[in-house]
Amino acid sequence: MDKKWWHNSVVYQVYPRSFCDTNGDGIGDIPGIISKLDYLQNLGIEIIWLSPVYQSPMDDNGYDISDYQAIAPEFGTMEDMDKLIAEARKRNIQIVMDLVVNHTSDEHPWFVEARKSKDNIYRDFYIWRKPKEDGSEPSQLGSAFGGSAWQYDEITGEYYFHLFSKKQPDLNWENKKVRKAVYKMMNWWLDKGIGGFRMDVIELIGKVIDEGIMSNGPKLHDYLKEMHQETLASRDVLTVGETWGVTPEIAKKYSNPEEKELSMVFQFEHITLCWDAKHGKWKPRPFDFVSLKKIFNKWQTELEGKGWNSLFWNNHDLPRAVSKYGNTQQYRVESAKMLATALHMMQGTPYIYQGEEIGMTNVRFESINQYQDIETLNFYKEKIAEGFTHEEMMNALWENSRDNARTPMHWDATENGGFSKGKPWLGMNPNYDSINVKAAIEDKNSIFYHYKKLIELRKSMPVITYGDFKLLLKEHPQIFAYMRTYEDERILVATNFSKDKAKFMLNEAVEVEDFRVLLSNYDKAYALVSELELEPYEAVVFGI
Ligand code: NOJ
């Protein structure tokens, strides 16, 4: 496979609202991001995935866009945005924008026009259906944020379709004019010099509503090929699709360079593994470690040479990695480093979500009123109506509310963690007094420096980027271990996902004459590679 610049780069996701506020309105802004570029360069990342900063009524914190070519005033101006792109580039960092084109805001001029009359020229930009004879919704389809996916619109007496909130009407991708308008907007941004796009719920654009097909519709890949042709073909950028229903087979369609679609996709099997079949994230299942390993093994081996993986533990929709898979009590630092090691040494492009590099944790708001996220608030009501108790729901929120990831970034131990001089839009996690960037920078054993070393290692050893993947000790209940091989380079990664010691015995014949410790999260000497006693949450990378 041809080598690409983003194969050995690490991405850092910025959720602008919660990153750094410079004007005291309690909301992070673009000048705030610019002020932290040196910090990000020091960490070693080369790409920022910027969650939406476009003009928006903020029903879903910017994933409801009312003007794709304007910046939301709370985040700054287009000048700020141009400056961010330029300042990032000076530091060898590319800005990857969030492309949200499954839907717009209902305040987007296209929708404002579309709802005016049935013969408006923008009517077909969206999806409209007549009511059933009794006036009810055209079908039973539900929205991802609860309730029906249909919203009745008085003006023309029809329903429009929205897979997310009713302020996020879905675009009609079957309409060529919609596709053209989207490609034009994409080119406008690409011409500004951005480094690519993260494509929000992109698997939904090929939906066939009347047949109830939402993900992976029949025309999805045709649209992506057309998009590639019209926008990406002549440019060297990174594109990553958000695809919850993807299988390795489909991922190869998206990410095999020969298919000319995307660079890679996010798959979520390791996330939904902990969700209930009926109630999803609102009824979390215990973490099944052996299945997690199987999932990683499947994705690592199936995409090898035929596609490209993205590697992530968390993002702005998911709980904090260390809270979900690690240990926030005695072993927060060890387990955060272990999780980073286990992930970053696999094949693919790693993604770090803001605050992950200092081991930020989930938040425990005591009152439902402290939550801001639309999904959290809608489902709190819906599940209580279905019979969940308040306590059950609060437990579910502490584990899986999207606000866990969205509490503002901790820069130092001063008021509001140095995030804002005003009142933060969402409450702070009170542990900012001890978990913060300043403390991490001052401590040479911090999680931050472990991430920095992982990135340096990736840059210096092609095996980390291109090596093949072999899972070891498949059924071991505590240890995730694997070998990577590329030309004459070989590494062995051994990680302990538990708070108990774990015996690591290589049962397969691996010739190890001499070895080097490339990275470890414990200060200890290693005598042998084939037989180790791993400490709680230990992670070690050997060059062998
Ligand atoms: C996925 C985004 O990551 C999420 O934050 C958003 O609410 C939905 N798509 C709708 O755009």
Q: Which ligand 1 atom is the nearest neighbour of the CA of 163?
A: 10
pLDDT band at 531 (very low <50, low <70, confident <90, very high): confident
Annotate 185-248 with DSSP letters as a single string.
HHHHHHHTT--EEEETTGGGTT-BGGGTB-SS-TTHHHHHHHHIIIIITTS--EEEEE-TT--H
168 and 160 Cβ atoms separated by less than 8 Å: no
Residue 119's pLDDT is 98
Q: What percent of the chain has pLDDT over 90?
A: 96
Q: What is the mean pLDDT of residues 288-295?
A: 98
Rounded Cα gap, residues 536 and 331, in angstroms: 8
pLDDT band at 505 (very low <50, low <70, confident <90, very high): confident
The helix (run of H) or strand (run of E) holding residue 288 is none
474 and 485 Cβ atoms separated by less than 8 Å: no
Q: What is the mean pLDDT of residues 469-480?
A: 97
Collect contacts of 363-367 with beta carbons under 8 A, ≥24 apart: 363/398, 363/403, 363/404, 363/407, 363/427, 363/429, 364/398, 365/397, 365/403, 365/427
DSSP state, 257?
G
Q: In the predicted model, is pLDDT for residue 1 greater than 80?
A: no
pLDDT in tens, 140-192: 999 999 999 999 999 999 999 999 999 999 999 999 999 999 999 999 999 99
Catalytic residue among 29, 60, 170, 242: 242
> If you measure from the C-alpha of residue 375 to the centroid of ligand 1, how many angstroms do you get, rounded to a whole number?
10
Active site residue 242: yes
pLDDT band at 7 (very low <50, low <70, confident <90, very high): very high
Active site residue 133: no
Hey, what are 221's tokens?
Answer: 């890949």
Q: In the predicted model, is pLDDT for residue 509 greater than 60?
A: no
3-state helix, strand, coil in the chain (%, to 5): 35, 20, 45
Given ligand 1 and candidates 18, 100, 401, which is best to mutate, with the most ligand atoms within 8 Å of its CB? 100
Q: What percent of the chain has pLDDT over 70?
A: 99
Rounded Cα gap, residues 466 and 461, in angstroms: 9
Q: What is the mean pLDDT of residues 13-20?
A: 99
Q: What is the mean pLDDT of residues 465-478?
A: 97
Residue 36's pLDDT is 99
- Among 488, 481, 498, 475, CA closest to 542: 481
Q: In the predicted model, is pLDDT for residue 508 greater than 70?
A: no
Q: Which ligand 1 atom is the nearest neighbour of the CA of 100?
A: 11
Residue 514's pLDDT is 80
**Separation in Å, CA 316 to CA 17, 268, 321, 348, 355:** 11, 14, 11, 20, 11
> If you measure from the C-alpha of residue 268 to the centroid of ligand 1, how many angstroms do you get, rounded to a whole number?
14
Residue 507's pLDDT is 67
Residue 511's pLDDT is 62
Rounded Cα gap, residues 433 and 77, in angstroms: 32
pLDDT in tens, 44-91: 999 999 999 999 999 999 999 999 999 999 999 999 999 999 999 999
Ligand 1, atom 5, lies closest to the CA of 317
Q: Which residue has the higher pLDDT, 303 or 511?
A: 303
Residue 67's pLDDT is 99
Q: What is the mean pLDDT of residues 390-412?
A: 98
Residue 408's pLDDT is 99
Q: What is the mean pLDDT of residues 122-150?
A: 98
Q: Which ligand 1 atom is the nearest neighbour of the CA of 145?
A: 7
The helix (run of H) or strand (run of E) holding residue 5 is none
In the structure, which protein residues have their CB atom closer than 6 angstroms to any atom of ligand 1?
60, 63, 100, 164, 200-201, 242, 316-317
User: Domains along the chain?
Assistant: 11-103+176-448 (3.20.20.80), 109-161 (3.90.400.10), 468-543 (2.60.40.1180)
Burial 252-273 (b: 16+ CB within 10 A, else e): bbbbbeebebbbbbbbbbbbbe
Rounded Cα gap, residues 211 and 215, in angstroms: 12
Q: What is the mean pLDDT of residues 120-131?
A: 98
Which amino acid is present at 388? F
Ligand 1, atom 10, lies closest to the CA of 63
Q: What is the mean pLDDT of residues 228-249?
A: 98
pLDDT, mean over the chain: 97
pLDDT in tens, 426-454: 999 999 999 999 999 999 999 999 999 99
Q: Which ligand 1 atom is the nearest neighbour of the CA of 102?
A: 11
Catalytic residue among 106, 200, 373, 535: 200
Residue 506's pLDDT is 80
> If you measure from the C-alpha of residue 51 to the centroid of ligand 1, how many angstroms do you get, rounded to a whole number?
10
pLDDT band at 527 (very low <50, low <70, confident <90, very high): confident
- Among 247, 212, 405, CA closest to 315: 405
Rounded Cα gap, residues 371 and 380, in angstroms: 10
pLDDT in tens, 299-323: 999 999 999 999 999 999 999 999 9
Query: For strand 516-520 and strand 479-486, is the pairing parallel, antiparallel, or unpaired?
Result: unpaired
